[in-house]
Amino acid sequence: MRGKPRKYLLLLLAVVALGYFSYKFRNSITLEGFRWGMVWDALRDARPGLLLLGVAAIYVCYAIRALRWMRFSRTLGRTNFWHVYSATLMGFACVFLLGRAGEPLRPVLIAKKDSLSVPRMFGVYVLERVFDISATVVAAGVALLMFSARGLSTDENAHMMGIARSAGAVLLALLLGVIGFLIYFRYHGAAWLGKRLEHESWRSGWRAKIAALLEGFSEGLQGIRTWGDLGVLVIYSVAHWLLVVFVYLWVAHAFGGDLADIDFSGALLVLAFTLVGSAVQLPGVGGGAQAASFLVFTLIFGVENEPAAAAAIILWLITFASSCLVGLPLLFHEGWTMGELRRLAQTEEAAGEAALLADAERTSESGGSAR
């Protein structure tokens, strides 16, 4: 089967899959007063041009993520933009279908497409998450400052803003701890790991897995070697998250009413709360991210429950679930199933662990002979 018939079949399979998962999770969203009917009612009155602009912008965001990943991994081997971009879309589709259990599949898919080490890709993944957590902390801080400066913080939402500040402080402390660990491991990790591998117990069992992952992290951290590297990565991150803020703004304005009064700083505040809420993401449900958006819309901006719930769901569909529009057909096109992806992750990780342990042992032995 070739040409257009195959494309039509892939598109049909993607639509059927999306329909199945929509039906399966139709009663899973538990926002106050939420009904799927209100989403369709809201969409009838929404401005479709702004919603389509949001979808297009999200795919640009995925492209920026792919470029940033390539910059992270440029010392680990050659990467192809389309390979990284398509694997990114497939990876986020897996996260939508499986929840957090699907997170490891994106590094595996990228590694597989460009024949790179899986553990080293997990090192890149850790760096990516650190940059995203940094963006969350910065967005929350800037949004709260802008919000307070405009005098919009009232007694009614003071408790919620207090919780947000506390959560931001915890995230900041966590971020500083992770950055400190990564800086230390960037410069001293190889020596530390070499000493551990001098003991036989670190060459088998669960310690061997930890050693392999740490070696992969150490290799991944080599992606930031100069201030120029850091500057380029920061530019990619700022461009990505600024575009996401505009997506939030466009979606809010698409529904009109009180939502149309939300400006850039308001959209930034919604994004900050949503990023914190996404930490409790459930498979195919959205959970915390939707609830966080809904709470900001209703408690801070005074939006009615029904349009707030509809906007929260549409935001989730555009910024997260829309990856399936292309990601699922790509998965079907390449013949992947969830079971095969899990087995691939296990097989590739085991092979990568063996190779990294061998490299680490050679490093340890050469270091010992040099002494």
Q: Provide the terminal-to-terminal Cα distance of the chain, rounded to the nearest Å.
A: 63
The CA radius of gyration of the chain, in Å to the nearest whole number, is 22
Q: Are 327 and 92 in contact (CB under 8 A)?
A: yes
Q: Are 211 and 202 in contact (CB under 8 A)?
A: yes
What residues does each domain of the chain span? 41-370
Q: Are 193 and 215 in contact (CB under 8 A)?
A: yes
Instruction: Residue 319: name the closest of 241, 259, 253, 257 by CA.
Output: 241
CA distance 170 to 115: 38
pLDDT of the chain, 371 residues: tens digit per residue? 445 555 555 555 555 555 555 544 444 444 555 566 666 777 777 888 999 999 999 999 999 999 999 998 888 888 999 999 999 999 998 888 777 667 778 888 898 888 887 777 887 887 888 888 888 778 777 777 666 555 445 555 666 666 666 666 676 777 778 777 777 777 776 667 667 766 776 666 667 667 766 766 676 667 777 888 888 998 999 999 999 999 999 999 999 888 999 989 889 888 988 887 765 444 444 456 777 888 888 888 888 888 888 888 889 889 988 998 899 888 888 777 666 666 665 555 555 555 545 555 554 454 444 33
